[in-house]
C-alpha cells in the first residue's frame, strides 16, 4: 500500500499553483504532476501522518527529471531534522525504484540538486512510499 497516497504534501516551489501543485505528485493520477520553478535545489515532501519503517520509494518523473537528488527522512519535518537515506548523483531515468533499508520516519522528502536536463525545474508525476508501521521507541 502506497503510504503517501493523498497525504499532505508541500514543496519549496511550484511553477503553477494549480496545475503543478505539490499534491499532484501523490494523488494517484499519472496525468497530473508537481513541477518546481527553475530555482534548482528544490524539494518535495510528504507527511505520512505517523512514523514508518520505510522499505521503498518509487518516483515517476516527467521529462524534467532530477539529474541528481537525495531521499531524506525526518520524524518532525523541521529544518535541520532531515537525514539522507539515499542519494542518486547521476539519474538519467524517468522512473526510479529505490529500495530502502534501515530508514524510518514520518516525513519523506525528495531533495533535488539542480534543475532538470533542459534547465527547467524538476517535475514528478507520482511519488510513492512503502513501509510498515514503526515498532521502535
Please tell me the pTM assigned to this model. Answer: 0.96
Instruction: For residue range 17-36, list pLDDT tens digits in order.
Output: 888 999 999 999 999 999 99
Whether residue 4 lies inside any domain: the answer is: no
**Are 58 and 71 spatial neighbours (Cβ–Cβ below 8 Å)?**
no
What string of H, E and C letters represents the secondary structure of 29-90? CCCCCEECCCCCCCEEEEEEEEEEEEEEEEEEECCCCCCCEEEEEECCCCCCCCEEEEEECC
Give the residue numbers spanning the domain of 89.
9-133
Instruction: For residue 44, give the CATH number of its domain.
Output: 2.60.120.260
**Are 31 and 134 spatial neighbours (Cβ–Cβ below 8 Å)?**
no
Whether residue 89 lies inside any domain: the answer is: yes
Q: In the structure, what pLDDT confidence band is assigned to residue 131 with cuts at 50, 70 and 90?
A: very high
Instruction: For residue range 40-69, list pLDDT tens digits in order.
Output: 899 999 999 999 999 999 999 999 999 999
Amino acid at each position: 500500500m502506497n503510504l503517501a497516497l493523498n497525504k499532505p504534501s508541500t514543496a519549496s516551489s511550484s511553477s503553477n499553483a494549480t496545475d503543478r501543485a505539490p499534491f499532484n505528485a501523490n494523488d494517484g493520477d499519472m496525468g497530473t504532476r508537481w513541477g518546481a520553478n527553475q530555482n534548482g535545489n528544490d524539494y518535495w515532501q510528504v507527511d505520512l501522518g505517523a512514523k514508518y519503517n520505510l522499505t521503498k520509494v518509487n518516483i515517476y518523473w516527467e521529462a524534467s527529471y532530477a539529474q541528481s537528488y537525495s531521499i531524506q527522512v525526518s520524524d518532525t519535518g523541521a529544518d535541520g531534522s532531515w537525514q539522507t537515506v539515499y542519494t542518486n548523483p547521476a539519474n538519467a531515468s524517468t522512473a526510479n525504484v529505490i529500495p530502502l533499508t534501515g530508514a524510518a520516519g514520518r516525513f519523506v522528502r525528495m531533495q533535488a540538486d539542480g534543475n532538470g536536463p533542459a534547465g527547467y525545474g524538476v517535475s514528478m508525476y507520482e511519488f510513492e512510499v512503502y513501509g510498515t508501521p514503526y515498532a521502535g521507541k
